[in-house]
Amino acid sequence: MTDNTTADKPVWIKPTLRAHRSGLLNKFGAVPSRQWQDEFEDVPVADLIHQFGSPLFVISEQRLRKNVRHLTRAFSARYPRVQYSWSYKTNYLNAVCAIAHQEGAWAEVVSAFEYEKARNLGVPGEKILFNGPHKPRAILERAIKEGAHIHVDHLDELQLIDEIARATAQNVEITLRLNFDTGVTEPWSRFGFNVESGQALDAAWRVAHSPNLKLTGLHSHIGTFVMDTRAYRAQVKTMCQFMERAEKDTGCQIDCIDVGGGFASRNALQGVYLPPEQVVPSIDQYAEAICDTLLEATHGREREGRPRPLLLLETGRAVVDDAEILLTSVVGNKRLPDGRRATIVDAGVNLLFTAFWYHHNVKPTRELSGVAEETVLYGPLCMNIDVMRASILLPPLDVGDVLMFSPVGAYNNTQWLQFIEYRPNVVLVHDDRQVSIVRAAEDLQAVTAQERLPDHLRDVSPR
């Protein structure tokens, strides 16, 4: 009830109920962050915005290198044969891929476009893992010729590879993609060959019967943002059991076990109420789960003088997510009919596709004063779905104030949409703190470059 009593004259006001929204604890049990951050990798946010405009994606070269090294060391310290491959679809900006490759990563691609991108960057075919359910004949022919690792998704594809191998008199080593129930994660049964139903073993037999094909690898990718490391223990166990069975039955010799990607990043998944620091396993915990199981399962091979398989990793999200931020500026404030404050910023779900499933960390970039209040953050699109954050406690923001969204390195620079707005600059903070554009902001010319206007439509005056 509102108390509006003045010293001399009490005035009666109709009582109203108001939700108490600006407390210390929110419904997620977390104390709202009062932090602000005015630099990224020691480069002032104000300088970045001044020089490159808003909104702006900023990538840290140092952080990305560190993450790749950390991942590869965590696995190499626990298992003798490890090769990491960069998952292109997670972020295929050339600069990002090049940094991963300089750190020793191969390329993991899932389409003709991604294959061509990797080759164009100078990655040789032998260092490309070719996944995905759609590999048209022309790109398969090229990939086979160039010695890429072909990960087969279905029987028609196996047939096509067999045809190409025969027609060109080549011997092709192939990897089968497997799917199965880990008992922990939702099975991704649409990719690859199912183990439980016997489909995968049938495929291994098909390969064995072809004079031109050789089964040398097994692949599976059990999901994404997998927060339970037991899923990986189950995965490796199933893959190793299948390896032994396929080798014994069909006479193949498996040299690679590829466990795919899927490690969670330190991002807050919507609907998970505990902070990511508490629920997301560390890279070392993932490495331990996978390497322990693989060492145990391949112990016998070593005793018998058969080599342990090469462990292939295709981690995307957990490597790149925290190496990139998005800076966005306030363009206006308004009050919604239900009393909530709404703030409109210049970056929306067109740029931050992951806003649909994460509660990103949102930080002001200067010290703000005033009472924090529940705020809706809207993007600039003329679309109801353009919500960057449905509810966040923030002090009042002025037009021009810059907010920092993080982490945003995974699946945004690939899934973003050219929709309503131009896509902005993406810059890289180099190891030496120099900053350069790695993807230039779009303009009218860039966005309409592929359009063709028939002659009779050139004049738009009414006829």
Ligand X SMILES: *Cc1c(COP(=O)(O)O)cnc(C)c1O
Does position 103 interact with ligand X (CB under 6 A)? The reply is no
Q: Site for ligand X (CB under 6 A): which residue of 131, 229, 298, 375?
A: 131
Does position 238 interact with ligand X (CB under 6 A)? The reply is no
φ, ψ (nearest 5 deg) of residue 370: 105, 165
Interatomic CA distance for residues 227 and 215, integer angstroms: 31
CA angle (446, 447, 452) in 5-degree steps = 100
Which residues have C-beta within 8 Å of that of residue 196, sequence separation ≥ 6? Answer: 180, 181
Does position 288 interact with ligand X (CB under 6 A)? The reply is no
Contact range with ligand X by CB under 6 A, out of 98-106, 314-322, 388-396, 418-426 = 314-322
Does position 281 interact with ligand X (CB under 6 A)? The reply is no
Does position 206 interact with ligand X (CB under 6 A)? The reply is no
Q: Site for ligand X (CB under 6 A): which residue of 192, 262, 309, 424?
A: 262
The closest of 287, 272, 261, 254 to 70, measured between CA atoms, is 287
Residue 64's identity, in one-letter code, is L
Nearest to ligand X of 64, 393 (CB atom): 64
Does position 185 interact with ligand X (CB under 6 A)? The reply is no
Does position 317 interact with ligand X (CB under 6 A)? The reply is yes
Nearest to ligand X of 54, 224 (CB atom): 224
Contact range with ligand X by CB under 6 A, out of 48-56, 256-264, 378-386, 430-438 = 256-264
Interatomic CA distance for residues 89 and 446, integer angstroms: 22
Whether 97 and 86 have beta carbons less than 8 Å apart is answered as: yes
Q: How far is the CB of 286 from ligand X (least distance, A)?
A: 10
Residue 337's identity, in one-letter code, is P
Q: How far is the CB of 307 from ligand X (least distance, A)?
A: 24
Whether 131 and 97 have beta carbons less than 8 Å apart is answered as: no
Nearest to ligand X of 108, 162 (CB atom): 108
Q: How far is the CB of 413 from ligand X (least distance, A)?
A: 13
Q: How far is the CB of 224 from ligand X (least distance, A)?
A: 3
Long-range contacts of 190-196 (CB under 8 A, 24+ apart): 190/133, 191/133, 191/153, 191/221, 192/152, 192/153, 192/154, 192/219, 192/220, 193/152, 193/154, 195/238, 195/242
Does position 135 interact with ligand X (CB under 6 A)? The reply is no
Nearest to ligand X of 153, 421 (CB atom): 153
Nearest to ligand X of 49, 323 (CB atom): 323
Strand 82-87 versus strand 213-219 pairing type: unpaired
Interatomic CA distance for residues 363 and 406, integer angstroms: 8
Site for ligand X in 403-462 (CB under 6 A): 410
Nearest to ligand X of 151, 423 (CB atom): 151
DSSP assignment letter at 134: -
Which residues of the chain form contacts with ligand X (CB under 6 A)?
Answer: 87, 89-90, 108, 110, 131, 221, 224, 260-263, 314-317, 410
